[in-house]
Structure formats: structure tokens, C-alpha cells
Chains A and B, each alone.
Chain A
Amino acid sequence: MKRHTLIAFFVLISIALSAPLFAHHGTNISYDHGKPMTLKGTVTEFVWKNPHAQLYFDVKDEAGNTVHWAGELNSPGVLSGQGWTRKMFLPGDEITLSVFPSKAGAPVGVVDRSKPITSNGKEVVPAGRNVD
């Protein structure tokens, strides 16, 4: 019983603390924040345009098929304030990142900024926060 009490307590704490992070962001309604996915892939394009930067990359699925993924990001203005640059990702870069996937099941996700992003084996974006 004590164990259940503790589990219930921590689940409720997690919900209470996580809700404000995503409460006001329009785009997040499209994505499932309960199912973060870690993906390894090869960059095909990095779009550095307002109002949303985008990272496109190819991922090999379990059957060996290539799936083309889209990763949604914040605006270049916000990202550059956090140290991002338009040359941070180039076609051919091998990346590992976490996304919250589309609820509709499409290979599209909003990039999970609470996890680091590595490119060619090097951490290029440290773990941060999922805020606007």
C-alpha cells in the first residue's frame, strides 16, 4: 500500500509540474507528449526560416526501410538566442534526437528540447527546456 501511495504521489507531482510547460503552445496539440521517441537518422535538410525552423532527416526502420521524418522547431530568432546557428546541421550529418511524435501517426514530431541532440557523435545542442 505504501508503495502505491508513493507511486500515486509521484505521478501526480509529474502531472502537476509538466502541465504548465505545454499549456499554452499551439503547435503542441498536434503531438503526443507522453511518448517521446529517440531517433537516429541522416539529415536531408535544415530549414532556418520563420516562424518555425525544421529539421528533415531519414531514419531506417526495423525492416530496413527508409522513413523520412520532419522535426518541428521554434523560430530562428528564439533558437539563435539559445546558441543555434543556420549551419548547425548539414545534409549528411548523422544525428540522434528525441521528438514527441504526431498523434496522427505521421513521421513528424516536435523536437524534444529536454534531451540533447548529437551530430556526428558530438553533442551540438545540450538538454534544455520545452518552452516557447
Chain B
Amino acid sequence: MRNRISLVIALLGMLALSLIVLAQNGAQEQRGGRGGRGARDNGAPSPPHDPHDLTGVWNLAGGTDLSLSRTPPALTPEGQKKFDANKPSYGRELGSADAAAHPEEHISRRRGVPPALGNDPIGDCNPLGWPRLFFFGRPVEIIQLPDRVIQFWEWTHVWRTIWTDGRPLPKDPDATWYGYSVGRWEGDTLVVETAGVDDRTWIDHFGDVHSDEMHLTERWHRLDQDNMEVTMVLDDPKFYKQPWVSEKKVWRLQPRRELREEFCAPVDEQLFNQRTRNPAGGLNKK
């Protein structure tokens, strides 16, 4: 009986703590979290802004999940085969008590292996691809020209061109790491469509997959001076039984942030892998 009382007390304690943590996360989200330097904490009204001007340095708000959402749609047999071949290092460790304690989570979040034993393309500094770069948690600087929007991404020092001159998406584009993108304004929302992303790239850190037929629609909406909301819909009937609709992602303006040069250079990564990553994972002792 006493044991039961102890268990109930402990569970109630955990519940209370979870609520506190959730409340803190919510508060952090309001403040802007890691991307929050541009957010106004003092309650002052946001200055006027042009909703069709996305120019500036932006960062993903804290507390944001690292994929479209935590649970992808059901895979087709072909998609499942590719998903099963991926060995990510993020999420809970495959076979661990931690993973076993969370059967409610999608398998992509509980199949992590040490990087030395995985096959994440970024382990050799291969391109992240689109949309994985979006979720990486590093800032982007957006520049607008009359016929295009250019996004300069700090991590791996890559840029993405979104053509806004009215051209359609190519019908059968060559595969490229970041695909081909066109955009148009629908009211105050920039709607971006992307196709032709190389199917060797992962959707996210968790080894979620896409085929060569992925069609991604993003909606970028500047809510006020400091905040931008982005949602995505991933259509890929070759790999998924339904479209994958993202949760809302909030980006914060970073007025004082200067983008750094952040290449991932194979020459440096190879040395790191030999000297640190591989021995840490039990491969080729130093």
C-alpha cells in the first residue's frame, strides 16, 4: 500500500514538473527562445512593417521541432524501404531503455545510433538539402530583388534562389541538392513551390525520406516587424500515403546578427571522424 502511495506521489511530482517545463517552454517561445534577440520583450508595439518585405536576418524560434512535425504520414512500401535503410544519430538511442519508454513516439525518433555507425549524409559534410536546412537551427539572410528572393543560409554557406518573375516550376527538373524554387504572393503570403530535390538528401535529422517526385509548398508570412510564420506541405505520393502537413514554424528577426562563414569542409570533418567520432563510436581505435 505504502509503495503504491509512493508511486502516486512520484507520478504526481513528475506531472507537476512536466507542466512547469511546458510552461517554461511556452514562455520561451513567447520571448523568442534562441532566435529571440529581435523580439520585443517590453511589450512595446511592433513598428510598422511591409508584409511583402522579408528582408533581414532571421532565426528559427526556440522550442521548434526539428522536422515538419513529430509524426510523418504512413509510408508506401517503396518509401518504407528507403526509410529503413537510413541510420540517423538524432533522437533516442535504438534499443535503449529511453527508447523503450516512449513507444508512443514515431520510430524515426527512437532509432538513433552513434554517428560512427550511422549513415547520415552530413557525417561526411554532404549537402543537407531542402528542406532539412530549414530545420538546422541556424540563421538565414533574405534578400529580395525584383525577380527573385534569395536566401543566404549561414550553415554550410549556401544560397537558395526563389524565382518570383512568374515562371512555372520546370516539369521534369534535374535533381539538385536544394531543388528548383518559384514563388508568388497570395495576399501577404509568399507561396514557394520546390521540386527536383536530390533524393539522397534526408528530410530531417531523423532519417525521414523523400523521393525524386517530392513537391514542397511553403507559405512564408511576415506577421509583424519581428516575427515570420512558415508552414509547409510535402506532397510525395511515391513515398507517402498522404501529404505531410507541417506545424507552424516561427522565425524571429535578428537585427544585430551578422552571418558567419560556416562551411562544413570534408578535409576537417574527415580528420574529426578519424580522431574523435569513430573511436567514440567503437570504430578504428586511435
A residues apposed to B, CB below 8 Å? 1, 4-5, 8-9, 12-13, 16-17, 19-20, 23-27, 29-31, 47, 49-52, 54, 56, 68, 70, 72, 75, 77, 102-110, 132
14 contacts between A and B (CB under 8 A): A5-B5, A8-B10, A25-B90, A26-B205, A29-B112, A30-B281, A50-B265, A51-B125, A51-B268, A72-B280, A102-B282, A106-B280, A106-B285, A108-B286
- A52 contacts B276, C-beta separation under 8 Å: yes
Q: How far is the CA of A85 from the CA of B21 in the complex (A)?
A: 33
Total interface residues on B, CB under 8 Å, equals 47
Q: Kindly supply a per-residue 1/0 record for chain B positions 103-118, scoring 1 wherever the CB is within 8 Å of any chain A CB and 0 otherwise.
A: 0000000001111101
Q: How far is the CA of A50 from the CA of B136 in the complex (A)?
A: 15
* Residue B222 is within 8 A (CB to CB) of chain A in the complex: no
- B93 contacts A29, C-beta separation under 8 Å: yes
- A30 contacts B116, C-beta separation under 8 Å: yes
* Residue B210 is within 8 A (CB to CB) of chain A in the complex: no
- A77 contacts B279, C-beta separation under 8 Å: no
Q: How far is the CA of A106 from the CA of B175 in the complex (A)?
A: 41
- B13 contacts A17, C-beta separation under 8 Å: no
* Residue B188 is within 8 A (CB to CB) of chain A in the complex: no
Would A1 and B264 be within 8 Å (CB), given that A104-B280, A107-B286 are in contact? no
Would you call the interface of chain A mostly helix, strand, loop, or mixed?
mixed
* Shortest beta-carbon distance from A2 to chain B in Å: 9
* Residue B6 is within 8 A (CB to CB) of chain A in the complex: yes
Among candidates A13, A49, A72, A132, residue contacting B268 with C-beta atoms closer than 8 Å? A49
Closest to A72 in B: B276
- A19 contacts B9, C-beta separation under 8 Å: no
Q: How far is the CA of A48 from the CA of B207 in the complex (A)?
A: 29
- CB contacts (< 8 Å) of B275 on chain A: these are 54, 56, 70
- CB contacts (< 8 Å) of A1 on chain B: these are 2, 6
Q: Kindly supply a per-residue 1/0 record for chain B positions 1-38, scoring 1 wherever the CB is within 8 Å of any chain A CB and 0 otherwise.
A: 01001100110011001100100000000000000000
- A26 contacts B276, C-beta separation under 8 Å: no
* Residue B137 is within 8 A (CB to CB) of chain A in the complex: yes
- A77 contacts B260, C-beta separation under 8 Å: yes
- CB contacts (< 8 Å) of B281 on chain A: these are 30, 102, 104
- CB contacts (< 8 Å) of A54 on chain B: these are 272, 275-276
